[in-house]
C-alpha cells in the first residue's frame, strides 16, 4: 500500500506532464493523414506547411483548454501578505544605537573556567 499510492500519483503526474508530447508523437506518426486531410493550407503548397498548422492549432486548443479548467482565482495573480502592518509610521527618535543589555548575571556566572573537570583520562 505504501508503494501503490506513490506509483499512482507518479503515473497521474507523468500523464499530465507528457500529454503534449503525446500529441506531438501522434502528429508525427500520422503526418501524411494530417497533411492530406486536416491541413488548412492544402490549397497553398508554396507554404510547405505539411500539417504544421494543424499541430499549432491543436497545441493552442490544449493550452486554452488547460487554462479554462483553472478557476478564475487561480488565473489571476493575487498577492497575499502573511502579516499586515498595523502602523506604517516609525518614530526614529525613540531608537537608540547602543543599549545596555544585561545578558549575563555576574553573580551566577564564573568568568574563569573550572579546570578541575578538564584532565586526561585516568588509566
**In tens digits, what is the pLDDT along the chain, a chain of 123 residues?**
788 999 999 988 888 778 778 888 888 888 888 888 878 877 777 777 877 888 888 878 877 776 666 566 555 665 666 666 555 566 666 666 666 655 666 676 666 666 777 777 877
CB 40 within 8 A of CB 55: no
3-state class (DSSP) for residue 68 = helix
CA pair distance 6, 14, nearest whole angstrom: 12
Amino acid at each position: 500500500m505504501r508503494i501503490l499510492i506513490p506509483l499512482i500519483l507518479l503515473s497521474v503526474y507523468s500523464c499530465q506532464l507528457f500529454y503534449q508530447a503525446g500529441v506531438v508523437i501522434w502528429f508525427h506518426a500520422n503526418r501524411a493523414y494530417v497533411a492530406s486531410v486536416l491541413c488548412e493550407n492544402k490549397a497553398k503548397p508554396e507554404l510547405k506547411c505539411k500539417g504544421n498548422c494543424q499541430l499549432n492549432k491543436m497545441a493552442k486548443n490544449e493550452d486554452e483548454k488547460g487554462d479554462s479548467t483553472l478557476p478564475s482565482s487561480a488565473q489571476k495573480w493575487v498577492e497575499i501578505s502573511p502579516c499586515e502592518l498595523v502602523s506604517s509610521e516609525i518614530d526614529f527618535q525613540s531608537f537608540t544605537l547602543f543599549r545596555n543589555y544585561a545578558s549575563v548575571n555576574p553573580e551566577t556566572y564564573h568568568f574563569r573556567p573550572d579546570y578541575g573537570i578538564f584532565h586526561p583520562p585516568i588509566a
